[in-house]
Structure 1
Amino acid sequence: MASLSLNSSPLPHPSQPQKLTETTLLRGGLKPIVVSGSPPTFVSAPGRRIVAVGDLHGDLAKARSALEMAGVLSSDGQNIWTGGETVLIQLGDILDRGEDEIAILSLLQSLNMQAKTEGGAVFQVNGNHETMNVEGDFRYVEPGAFDECLDFIGYLNNCENNWGEAFVGWVGVSERWKEDRMLSESYWGPWRLMKRQKGVIARSTLLRPGGPLACELAKHAVVLKVNDWVFCHGGLLPHHVAHGIERMNREVSDWMRGLNDQSGGPEIPFIATRGYDSVVWNRLYSRDTEDLEDYQSRQICAILEETLQAVGAKAMVVGHTPQTAGVNCKYNCSIWRIDVGMSSGVLNSRPEVLEIIDNKARVIRSRRDIIGELQAVDYT
């Protein structure tokens, strides 16, 4: 398993695994971030501040608000990374229920490129809505999201099919394309069904296994371990660890990139993407403990402890299940649940993010929230 440094890497082709190269000590005196696995699975980020953001579901305004609150995005609308050597982790479910999905993916890619030059990093973890879309399950796609796919393909054509330029640049032009589209709605009125069909075709082209946007998603893990913390969308279980998290990440990535199995078809990695106990669907750790019997809580706590011990982590961070009470921790704060349903397509709640510094975790609930509103938990 090769180890590679994150700081100073060229923009990879969307269909290829991420390649990283070694660098010297950073200007802040911190050692380089070292990543193992392709897609990234194990990350050593010595001395870094870590911030984790939950489900965004196509709401660009809420995504910006959360990132500004986390201190990693400028508040002037210029899409500038302000996090320095911070490591930002987004927990998946960027797709569905909102209209600006590709714009959010574009913003995160732009921030990642900027962060690398500062000694920081941006990581994304795929959720169940990413895997659903690659499977062609568009049940939760908003009409405006189909339109965004169609607009983006038009912009890609304008960029002479230069994927890297189009993908990173989309967040800066998407609003204008949306405004132009809205102005043309009166023209499209009688042909709305035809336009919607074109939008479905555009989305399928982008997100089918081997499609360019699916290949972007393939660069991201379903399980990511950063220092002593493990991040995933739904929840990691002992049998996932026994299967091998690097192997599981690679299997999902290969499927998204359209690599064929021996039978000639794309093999869907069920252990990660299908079923109630798969990594992206599991809600075991996110259940309301008030609805559980004492013996059930003890069983869940034991499963969580076994999982963390097996993967060598002190705590796990998950999204997937909206927490109406906000970001919270359970089971002796071995699990943090950070999906607050912030998207207007879910609960339209105020953004919250989790911050981890020196293995102490706290919740940030506002831009003024310099001292956490929830107790800081020390894992050292």
Structure 2
Amino acid sequence: MQNNRKYNLKQLCTDPVWISTRYFLLFILFSFQQLHAQTQQQLGQHDGPYFFYEAGNTKSVRVVDGKIQVDNSLKEPFSVSTEDGQYHFEVSRHPITVPKEVYRPSDKIMVLSDPHGDFASFYAILKAQKVVNANYEWTFGNNQLVVIGDVFDRGKDVLPIFWLIYKLEHEAVKAGGQVHFLLGNHEEMLMRGNYKYTQDKYKVLADSIGKSYRDFWSSETELGRWLQSKNTMEKIGDYLFVHAGLSTAMLDPKWTIPAVNDSVRRYLFHTKEERQQSEAASFLFGSEGPLWYRGMVVKEEKYHPLGEEDLNNMMKIYAAKQIFVGHTIFPEVSSFYEGKVYGVNVSNESNRLKGRSRGLLIEGGKIKVIYDDITKNKVIN
């Protein structure tokens, strides 16, 4: 039977079915607007560029003023900007080679760690210590810069830091110097697809173009190729650099520096499940491996702290006078085992703002703590 019931405006406004329908539609509209606004906010204002090599072509993906730009033509030099647009510089691609394991010492070796997407603090200390100038150019001559891992995660300017290191690496070599970037645990986390500490802007960008953010760092990308070429351990003279530390398992003669570097590179872009199929990968990417082990600088039993005798044996095996690590954060740059081990990881933004220590400078055989005010640099060993 056909319903010929008619409503006037007054009746319609008080009809419970109509009221429910109206509020449901308003809720859907409001939710969509909120989701859209949230997505735009999470995407960020600036990111990239990321270069993908697909089917013989190069595709760049970047975010400019909150909008995704995809370009199939490569223009060099290309611009890089921080999230807030305050810092920006130009970069050109350069050949990627696997670094050596051992380098000759130079007059000065600057040591930093764990910048974690904080470009302002990273650039500030480089500029203050005359490693770069106001144009982001290498001014450290034939000296060396070591960054002991962990650019990924926490901050919103991961790409600008990586691109600046990439750029300075090439400029340093032309000046007779070197830039060393070593892998950290946050590099291995992201490469296996763990985004626990990754800012939303990166994940939203990846989702928007139908990829996982891990894919942005595959061997089919420029920065992925570059990152997967990097070492886990390196020496400059008799100074040894590694992200987290060396456990007693590293006393095994099979873990030479080349063996560690080659094995980490081989499994870096593997998933956690794939790594677990390998005894070597399970160790190297585990809590006792060089990317995660804290027992060199933390004495709590759960970290299996390294004894003095084991440390001395370790230093003999690797022919090292001193070992420099990041990973474990301290209020100030710290030394352990009577100056044989140095922990360089500090809260970079907080220490920059409060005038605290930021890293180390090895100069003329002396070790100095460095600050954003170069006049505060002081010898500690």
TM over 0.5: yes
| C-alpha separation in 2, matches of 1:111 and 1:318 | 22
| Equivalent residue in structure 2 for 1:43, among 103, 108, 117 | 103
* Contact 1:327–1:336 (8 Å) recurs in 2: yes
1:271–1:300 CA distance, 2 compared to 1 (3 A): same
* CA deviation profile, 1:149-196 (whole Å, cap 9, x unmatched): x4xxxxxxxxxxxxxxxxxxxxxxxxxxxxxxxxxxxxxxxxxxxxx7
Q: Is the 8 A contact 2:243 2:326 kept in 1?
A: yes
Equivalent-residue separation in structure 1 for 2:335 and 2:238 (angstroms): 16
Within-5 A mapping of 1:253-264:
253-256=265-268
**How far apart are the structure 2 equivalents of 1:228 and 1:271?**
25
- What are the Cα deviations for residues 295-342 of structure 1, in whole angstroms up to 9, with x where unaligned? x98x62222211111100001000001101x10111110000000021
Distance 2:234 2:112 in 1: 14
Moved >6 Å (runs of 4+)? 265-268, 346-349
Aligned to 2:348, the other structure's residue is in SS state: coil
Q: Is the 8 Å Cα contact of residues 118 and 157 (structure 2) preserved in structure 1?
A: yes
Please give the TM-score of this superposition, normalised by the length of structure 1: 0.66
Between structures 1 and 2, the one with greater strand share? 2
Shift in Å, 1:369: 2.6
Query: For residues 176 and 337 of structure 2, what CA distance do their matches in structure 1 show?
Result: 34
Structure 2 distance, partners of 1:300, 1:267, is 25
Do the aligned partners of 1:222 and 1:272 also contact (CA within 8 Å) in 2? no
Are the aligned partners of 2:125 and 2:358 in contact in 1 as well (CA < 8 Å)? yes
Aligned mates of 2:208, 2:349 — CA distance in 1: 26
SS of 1:369's partner is helix
Of residues 230, 237, 249, the one that matches 2:261 is 249
Match of 1:363 among 354, 361, 369: 369
The answer for the alignment partner of 1:53 in structure 2 is: 112
One-letter amino acid of the counterpart of residue 129, structure 2? A
SS of equivalent residue, structure 1 residue 225: strand
SS in 1 for 2:103: strand
**1:84 aligned partner, one-letter code:** G
Q: 1:216/1:254 Cα in 2 relative to 1: closer, same or farther (>3 Å)?
A: same
Match for residue 320 of structure 2 among 313, 316, 325: 313
Q: Which structure would you say has the larger RCO, counting Cα contacts within 8 Å and 6 or more residues apart?
A: 1
State yes or no: 1:220 paired with 2:230: yes
Structure 2 residue corresponding to 1:102, chosen from 159, 169, 181? 159
> Which amino acid in the other structure matches residue 139 of structure 1?
K
Task: Call closer, same or farther: CA 1:245–1:237 in 2, change over 3 Å.
Answer: farther
**Stretches of structure 2 lacking an aligned partner (at least 5 in a row):** 1-92
* Larger-Rg structure: 2
CA contact 1:218–1:256 (8 Å) conserved in 2: yes
Q: Are the structure 2 counterparts of residues 209 and 116 from structure 1 closer, same or farther at C-alpha, using a change threshold of 3 Å?
A: closer
For structure 1, the residue ranges without an aligned partner over 5 or more in a row are: 1-9, 19-37, 151-195
Distance 1:347 1:132, change over 3 A: farther
Tell me what 2:346 maps to: 340
3-state SS, counterpart of residue 40 of structure 1: coil
- In 2, Cα distance between equivalents of 1:218 and 1:83: 26
The residue aligned with 2:358 is 352
Q: Mark the CA change 1:331 to 1:117 in structure 2 (over 3 Å): closer, same or farther.
A: same
Structure 1 CA distance for aligned equivalents of residues 212 and 358 of structure 2 = 33
Greater CA drift, 214-223 or 92-101: 214-223
Change (3 A) 1:351 1:79: farther
Distance in 1 (CA, whole Å) between partners of 2:116 and 2:377 is: 28
Match of 1:80 in 2: 137
Deviations 1:327-358 (A, max 9, x none): 011111000000002157x9987561200023
CA offset at residue 217 of structure 1? 1.3
Task: Note the alpha carbon deviations across 1:32-70, whole angstroms, 9 max, x for none.
Answer: xxxxxx44311123x431010011001111110121233
The CA distance in 1 between the partners of 2:215 and 2:141, in whole Å, is 36
Q: Deviations over 1:87-122 (max 9, x none)?
A: 000010100001111110100111111111111110
Q: Does 1:93 align with 2:97?
A: no
Whichever residue aligns with residue 292 of structure 2, its letter is: W
Alignment of 1:147-186 (within 5 A): 150=205
C-alpha distance in structure 2 between counterparts of 1:12 and 1:348, whole Å:
37
Question: Measured at CA, do residues 341 and 199 of structure 1 come closer, stay the same or move farther in structure 2, by a change above 3 Å?
Answer: farther
Distance 2:260 2:342 in 1: 22
Residues 210, 305 of structure 1: CA spacing in aligned structure 2 closer, same or farther, 3 A cutoff?
A: farther
Secondary structure, counterpart of 2:245 in structure 1: coil
Name the % identity.
24
- Aligned partner (choices 175, 189, 201) of residue 211 of structure 2: 201
Contact 2:192 2:269 in 1 (8 A): no
Q: How large is the Cα RMSD of the aligned pairs?
A: 3.1
1:125–1:222 contact (8 Å) kept in structure 2 = yes
Residue 210 of structure 1 and its aligned partner are, at CA, apart by: 5.9
Structure-1 separation of matches of 2:119 and 2:141:
22
In the alignment, what sits opposite 1:303?
Answer: 310
Which amino acid in structure 1 is aligned with residue 100 of structure 2?
Answer: P
Q: CA deviation at 1:202?
A: 5.1
